[in-house]
A and B are shown apart, each in its own frame.
Chain A
Amino acid sequence: MDIISIMKIAFKSLARNKTRTFLTMLGIIIGVGAVITMIAIGQGATKQVNEQISSMGTNVIMVVSNMSNTQSRARQAAGSGNLLDEGDVKAIQENVDGVLYVSPVYNTYGQLKYGSNNWRGSITGVDVDYFLIRDLSLEYGQYFYPSEVESGAKVCVIGKTVADNLFVGEDPVGKTMRIRHIPFTIKGVLKSKGASSMGMDQDDIVIAPHTTTVSRLIGQRWKFMTIIVSAISKERIPMVQEDIMNILLTRHNGTTRDDFIVRSQTDIAEAASAVSNTLTFLLASIAGISLLVGGIGIMNIMLVSVTERIKEIGIRMAVGASKRDVLLQFIIEAITISVIGGLIGIIMGWSLAVVLGQTMNWSISVTPWSILLAVGFSCAVGIFFGWYPARKAANLNLIDALRYE
């Protein structure tokens, strides 16, 4: 008999037992849905981390002094500490090959005030190179000049969020706002970068010359500098990292490699994606187990169904169904259950991922390979777990099957 007719028979038989069919399908629906959702969440996290890391800039190297070590050396003589200073910035700029831009970075918080509007903002004190390293472009206005950095001018560039909240409906450029009561003139507004993965608003920033930031806002005593560097190419990064470390070691007497962290964007990206890949794998294996359980559910039901339908098989064979017809009918029933279950699973899993992404504010990413994986797996489950009961059905002795009670 041709395959189309057998398919019709199989479909009819499934339709006749709607509850049983649905319950069997449920295992696959949940399994496939879970795989899709879990992978979507895992992949979303990976994608977001990667995006965030690339939003740091290009070929970026961060230099930080390792505070936990600094504190353990607090009793050492003044001057032998390992806090980074302007001399380090200069040394990196002048003595390390392959460095494109260097900028010190100071961070502080402060109350921002314009007219009667208040905003609590994060202030970053940097050199002009910072804009190039971080790839920050202007919405309008202009950056501050090197001369303004040198002279410690009270100027700044602000992010979109700050502009929107302090200057409602006004053009901030040329206006003066107060940062902790000290007036700063706004030179420009940055282009929006959107929210970061942790929900941090990357546009909620004020960028000012580092000289002014230290002298007016932080104070010499409390300053803690990090250095941001960009290398001329990706290939040069490891060499540049090594050279920076060597310069720091010669400039700071009595320090070890452990006292500084010279980390490239690639290092951070690798560490982060290793974590999120582990997460994806973990989530997918949990989901995979539920898919397997769904498959075993199919086999269970199909086996029960064979036993329950021994007489039906006997009747079919008596009126002319061959072994092949019976085998195919049962396999098609199993495959149909898993394929339809798989399709519903994809829809459910996808919807769940989207809903989760929106309500929990997670980034999700439904990838084609996760769909292929889920569908492939559910088909395989259908054939694998359908084949054994189907064979059992096809090999039944006709007379025994007919006489079976």
Chain B
Amino acid sequence: MDNNILISVRDLTKSYQMGEISVHALRGINLDIDEGDFVAIMGPSGSGKTTFMNLLGCLDKPTSGSYFLDGINVAEMDDKAITQVRNQKIGYVFQAFYLLPRTTALENVELPLLYRHKMSSKERREKAMQALEIVGLADRAKHYPNQLSGGQQQRVAIARAIVNDPAFILADEPTGNLDSRTSVEVLELFQKLHSQGKTIILVTHEYDLSHYALRIITFRDGKVISDAPNLDVHIASEDLKKMPQLDIEEEVL
């Protein structure tokens, strides 16, 4: 494994002002994440993992500390530059999918490309189709989110996350709204993307799912309490074979 450091976080803190009291959500985090890694961030609710994810995803700014992404301190960037980072360096996968309603799968996947730079609509379409092929939904390109099952919607969201070829994929509880088999299918997709060289950061509170990552970081009370390689990496495609096939085909046309 190469040791090209992608993310480097030093003394990162975040506190919120709640009336009179200030809540320290993160109390000094130090972390490095290598390029091509597959990291699971674990922790119970209130542990600070969501806050940490928001900072990693540049959705929020730290109170203090530094966050180097690809060698650049994102914590010191202005809004405009951060917008660029969000667009080009990070691919988000959210628990609730966050697809635009009344918008086809293909158009949803195109969205990050729209905000990038001048690109012909043909080129955009091709890139979005490639991403949909990777997640195995090329035949659903013209479907609207409400015509897709939960698993399919999440795969569209993953296609949207990879379409801009970001530095890493940030998945926040991506299986929280899915049944267990579909969850493992999504993880299978992440493992596949990882095998193709993508860096993946998976935030979850489900212990089972963390087994598909290579490294498990556990948060508690705003601090990292453990950070270790996963010694028992599960292969999602193997697990799927052992799981019972669902009777109902969950596709809605």
Q: Are A319 and B112 in contact (CB under 8 A)?
A: yes
CA distance A317 to B112 in the complex (A): 10
Minimum CB distance partner of B160 in chain A: A319
Q: Are B60 and A319 in contact (CB under 8 A)?
A: no
Contact of A320 among B84, B101, B102 (CB under 8 A): B84
Cβ of B92 within 8 Å of any chain A Cβ, yes or no, is yes
User: B113-121, B147-155, B176-184, B211-219: which lies at the A interface?
Assistant: B113-121
CA distance A311 to B103 in the complex (A): 14
User: A239-247, A321-329, A343-351: which lies at the B interface?
Assistant: A321-329
Total count of chain B residues near the partner, CB < 8 A: 29
Q: How many Å from the CB of B157 to the closest CB on chain A? A: 10
Chain B residues within an 8 Å CB radius of A322: 79-80, 83, 115
Chain B residues within an 8 Å CB radius of A314: 98
Q: Are B83 and A321 in contact (CB under 8 A)?
A: yes
With A315-B98, A325-B115, A402-B98 as given contacts, are A320 and B83 in contact (CB-CB < 8 Å)? Answer: yes
Chain A residues within an 8 Å CB radius of B87: 319-320
Q: How many Å from the CB of A324 to the closest CB on chain B? A: 8
Minimum CB distance partner of A397 in chain B: B60
Q: How many Å from the CB of B7 to the closest CB on chain A? A: 18
Cβ of B143 within 8 Å of any chain A Cβ, yes or no, is no
Chain B residues within an 8 Å CB radius of A319: 86-87, 92, 111-112, 115, 160
Cβ of A16 within 8 Å of any chain B Cβ, yes or no, is yes
With A318-B98, A320-B88 as given contacts, are A398 and B115 in contact (CB-CB < 8 Å)? Answer: no
Q: A-facing mask of B98-137, CB < 8 A → 1, else 0?
A: 1111110001000110111110000000000000000000
Cβ of A135 within 8 Å of any chain B Cβ, yes or no, is no
With A318-B92, A319-B86, A402-B59 as given contacts, are A16 and B115 in contact (CB-CB < 8 Å)? Answer: no
Q: How many Å from the CB of A393 to the closest CB on chain B? A: 15
Q: How many Å from the CB of A236 to the closest CB on chain B? A: 72
Q: B-facing mask of A4-42, CB < 8 A → 1, else 0?
A: 010011001000110000000000000000000000000
Chain B residues within an 8 Å CB radius of A164: none
Q: Are A318 and B59 in contact (CB under 8 A)?
A: yes
CA distance A314 to B54 in the complex (A): 13
User: For this complex, into which size category does the number of interface residues on chain A fall?
Assistant: 20 to 34
With A322-B79, A399-B54, A402-B59 as given contacts, are A2 and B118 in contact (CB-CB < 8 Å)? Answer: yes
Chain B residues within an 8 Å CB radius of A312: 100-101
Residues of B200-225 at the interface with A, using a CB-CB cut-off of 8 Å, are none
CA distance A399 to B80 in the complex (A): 17
Cβ of A316 within 8 Å of any chain B Cβ, yes or no, is yes
Cβ of A360 within 8 Å of any chain B Cβ, yes or no, is no
CA distance A9 to B94 in the complex (A): 23
CA distance A315 to B99 in the complex (A): 8
Chain B residues within an 8 Å CB radius of A398: 59-60
Cβ of A200 within 8 Å of any chain B Cβ, yes or no, is no
Cβ of A1 within 8 Å of any chain B Cβ, yes or no, is yes
Chain B residues within an 8 Å CB radius of A17: 102
Q: Are A320 and B59 in contact (CB under 8 A)?
A: no
Q: How many Å from the CB of A62 to the closest CB on chain B? A: 71
Q: How many Å from the CB of A322 to the closest CB on chain B? A: 4
With A398-B59, A398-B60 as given contacts, are A320 and B79 in contact (CB-CB < 8 Å)? Answer: no
Q: B-facing mask of A297-322, CB < 8 A → 1, else 0?
A: 00000000000000110111111111
Minimum CB distance partner of B119 in chain A: A5
Q: How many Å from the CB of A336 to the closest CB on chain B? A: 18
CA distance A315 to B116 in the complex (A): 15
Q: How many Å from the CB of A270 to the closest CB on chain B? A: 60
With A320-B87, A322-B83 as given contacts, are A315 and B59 in contact (CB-CB < 8 Å)? Answer: no
CA distance A131 to B88 in the complex (A): 87
Q: Are B94 and A402 in contact (CB under 8 A)?
A: yes
Minimum CB distance partner of B85 in chain A: A320
Q: A-facing mask of B50-61, CB < 8 A → 1, else 0?
A: 000010010110
Q: How many Å from the CB of A404 to the closest CB on chain B? A: 11
Chain B residues within an 8 Å CB radius of A2: 118
Minimum CB distance partner of A321 in chain B: B115
Contact of A5 among B60, B98, B114, B160 (CB under 8 A): B114
Q: A-facing mask of B71-93, CB < 8 A → 1, else 0?
A: 00000000110011011100010
Q: How many Å from the CB of A386 to the closest CB on chain B? A: 21
Supply 9 further A-B pairs (C-beta < 8 A) apart from A1-B117, A318-B59: A1-B115, A1-B116, A12-B103, A17-B102, A316-B115, A320-B115, A320-B164, A323-B79, A402-B98
19 contacts between A and B (CB under 8 A): A1-B115, A8-B114, A12-B103, A12-B107, A16-B102, A312-B100, A315-B99, A315-B100, A315-B111, A316-B115, A317-B83, A317-B86, A318-B92, A319-B87, A320-B112, A322-B115, A325-B115, A398-B59, A399-B54
Q: What are the 10 A-B residue pairs with the smallest beta carbon separation, nearest first?
A: A320-B87, A320-B115, A322-B83, A319-B112, A16-B102, A315-B98, A321-B115, A398-B59, A319-B111, A320-B86
A residues engaging B (CB < 8 A)?
Answer: 1-2, 5, 8-9, 12, 16-17, 311-312, 314-323, 325, 398-399, 402
